[in-house]
Amino acid sequence: MWLADLGNGEYRNPILYADYSDPDAIRVGEDYFCIASSFSNAPALPILHSKDLVNWKVVNYVLKKVPEFRYRNPIHGCGVWAPAIRYHEGTYYVCFPMPDEGIYMSTTTDPFGEWSEPVNIRPGAGWIDPCPFWDEDGKAYLVAGVAKSRIGYKSVLHMVEMQPDGMGLIGEEVTIFDGNENDQVTIEGPKMYKRNGYYYIFAPAGGVKTGWQTVLRSKNVFGPYEYKVVMRQGDSLVNGPHQGAWVDTVTGEDWFLHFQDVYAAGRIMHLQPMHWENDWPIIGVNKSGNDYGEPVEKYCKPNIGKSAQELADQSQYPICEPDTDDEFDTDTLGMQWQWNSNPEEDWYALNPQKSEITLHAVNAAAHRPVSDYRNLLLQKWPAPEFSCITKMDFSQMKEGEHAGIVSLGVIYGALAIRLHQGSYQLEKITGEQEFDCDVPYTDEQVEVIAHLDEQMAANKQVYFKYQVKRTGYENHKEMDVSVTHIPQEEITFAISYNGTDYDNIFTIKAKAGRWVGVKNGIFISHKSDSVNKELGAVSVDYVRYQ
């Protein structure tokens, strides 16, 4: 779909054209692990793994479900925000915020295995973007930002001492930086490090779509901190560029991972070279006369200390991307999939012998819009343009149910087949979400496009096509700042009854979800007001991207 590795010793940005927002990363030995936000989708907190900082795979999730019972339903924009990952004395720590519930910690000794049940180390609303830090003297600290929507103010960073085991906080928090007083409005996403006797806090400011990278430094953990802007968009096309992580290689190179918000496709991940000048980092490449860096479009891959012959071993150093296709031929659900809310075990069954997944219908309230169905099974967009073919069998569907493909953003749509009064109908479903605080409202429209009894009589297998096309670029105003070259995409839904000839049914404009990129996926739902109470199912033979 999107390969960043150019195969010639160079890479291109973004390294992931997919919505892995708020990335943080670490190196442990020769392995890199990256973590990203997941909001109310589950499983939550994806763990990505790489050997070279360019080629990544999703290998695990920290959370099987989002903590707290209310995430039984999708709560768009809430849930798990920007996390941090750290490694200390043989243990991996993931610290993550839930802005309404608190700051949580989960641990493991094997990032590919089970993570511990999360512990809420700071209950209460307001704090976000936490990052733990262990000093040489054995003391530990936590730095965090704040969400104005939950606490009434923003642009402030707090520091507090943490128990050395990471499972609680000690003493009172101290305000270490107020961006309202330093032209660093909306400073957030702090990540803490130490080098040459300085404590460093990398934190973006200026807003997700319009900001820059700021770094604070001090000889004292509680400050005072001085600051410097170390990366700006400059002449590049990388608006933002927003929060991320400083990592190094075994050869001593320094690199910075961060995201860029490209609107509909979400917050995609970039990799920048980094160097030091007068004990300040410079991220990207600084042009003549500039004491800050600008993002690169292409660059030499990181030197990970391997020979060309070693790097040619694709089993150890593959050129790869996160998975998209699924033939459903294994006994576990692919890492590319997330549900719209915390899942139940009986929502699906895998049948690897037949290479299929059975989706069981889940009851939905009579007036619940498709965007709020609990059991949407979703993937991130994997590229600027693509198509996705889904083969689905409707022979197990019951009266009162509909199933098909869905596109989930603020503007959303679905192409579905409904069994109504014994007759199969093709449905076009469209809507747009509006939010009052955290409550979504939609103007969902459902239109019967065709009656399909003839097409479904002999063979109840249908092929759906979901296609994303870029239509051009626009300029927007964000916080009175111009953002240019914003990709514009449209989404087309099509259907085929033989897998070859497709009819385009309708097209919608792509618009990102609440803090997340557009996702596409599959579903089956049973309306709770149906006379028939028996629940059916559909089987999906494959999902294939191209």
Residue 28 domain-assigned (yes or no): yes
* 377 shares a domain with 229: no
User: Does the pLDDT of residue 65 top 90, yes or no?
Assistant: yes
**Helix %, strand %, coil % for the chain, to 5?**
5, 50, 45
Judge if 371 and 479 occupy the same domain: yes
In a domain, 365, yes or no: yes
Q: Where are the alpha helices (DSSP H) in 445-519?
A: 453-458
- How many domains is the chain built from? 2
Looking at residue 43, its pLDDT comes to 98
Asked if the model's pLDDT at residue 522 lies above 90, the reply is: yes
Phi-psi region of 449 (alpha: psi -120 to 50; beta: other; left: phi over 0): alpha
What's the whole-model pTM score? 0.96
Active site residue 89: no
Question: Are 354 and 452 part of one and the same domain?
Answer: yes
Distances (CA, A) of 135 to 15, 93, 163, 170: 32, 15, 12, 15
The pair of three-digit structure tokens given for residue 489, joined into one six-digit string: 């995409």
Q: Give yes or no: residues 430 and 537 share one domain.
A: yes
Among 66-75, 448-457, 521-530, the range with the most confident prediction by mean pLDDT is 66-75
pLDDT digits (tens, 9 = 90+) for 181-191: 999 999 999 99
- Residue 44 parent element (H or E): strand 44-50
Residue 78, in any domain of the structure: yes
pLDDT for res 367: 86
Q: Mean of the per-residue pLDDT values for the chain? A: 96
Q: Where does the pLDDT of residue 142 fall: very low under 50, low under 70, confident under 90, or very high at 90 and above?
A: very high
CA distance 120 to 155: 24
Residue 374 maps to a domain: yes
Q: Tell me if residue 194 falls in helix, strand or coil.
A: strand
Does residue 346 sit in the same domain as residue 239? no
CATH number of the CATH domain containing 100: 2.115.10.20
The whole-number average pLDDT for the span 236-262 is 97
Beta bridge partners of 50: 32
Among the listed residues 22, 52, 321, 489, the single catalytic one is 22
Region 12-33 average pLDDT:
98
* Number of neighbours of residue 292 by Cβ within 10 angstroms: 20
Question: Do the domain assignments include residue 306?
Answer: no
Q: What is the pLDDT of residue 528?
A: 73
In a domain, 273, yes or no: no
Residue 368: helix, strand or coil by DSSP?
coil
**Residue where one domain finishes, among candidates 249, 272, 304:** 249
Structural domain harbouring 433: 338-545
Q: Which two tokens stand for residue 316?
A: 């150890």
Evaluate whether residue 30 is within a structural domain: yes
Contacts of 248 (CB under 8 A, 6+ apart): 27, 254, 255
Q: Indicate if 235 and 352 belong to the same structural domain.
A: no
At 480-495, the pLDDT tens digits run: 788 999 999 999 999 9
3-state class of 119 per DSSP? strand
Residues 24, 101, 129, 188: which is the catalytic one? 188
pLDDT tens string 435-449: 988 888 899 999 999
Q: What is the predicted pLDDT for the residue at 476?
A: 85
pLDDT at 350: 97
Note the pLDDT tens digit of each residue in 199-225: 999 999 999 999 999 999 999 999 999
Instruction: Give the pLDDT confidence score for residue 482 in this predicted structure.
Output: 86
Instruction: Tell whether 234 and 355 lie within a shared domain.
Output: no
Q: Catalytic: 161? A: no
Flag the least confident range among 287-296, 351-360, 479-488.
479-488
Choose the final residue of a domain: 216, 249, 282.
Answer: 249
Of 249, 275, 292, the position where a domain reaches its end is 249
Q: Within this chain, do residues 227 and 361 fall inside the same structural domain, yes or no?
A: no
140 in any annotated domain: yes
Write down the pLDDT at residue 273: 98
Residue 478, pLDDT above cutoff 90: no
Mean pLDDT of 386-407: 97
Over 80: is that where the pLDDT of 532 sits?
no
- Predicted confidence at residue 531, as pLDDT, reads 74
Residues 236, 377 within the same domain: no
d(CA 427, CA 429): 6
Tell me what the mean pLDDT of segment 519-527 comes to: 96
- Asked if pLDDT for residue 457 goes beyond 90, the answer is no
Flag whether pLDDT at 308 surpasses 80: yes
Strands 461-478 and 423-436, sheet pairing? unpaired
Q: What is the DSSP string of 313-328?
A: -TTTS--------B--
Q: Are the beta carbons of 362 and 347 closer than 8 angstroms? A: yes
Residue 112 confidence (pLDDT) above 90: yes
Residue 386 is part of a domain; what is its CATH number? Answer: 2.60.120.200
From its phi and psi, is residue 472 left (phi > 0), alpha (psi between -120 and 50) or beta?
A: left
- 350 shares its domain with 226: no
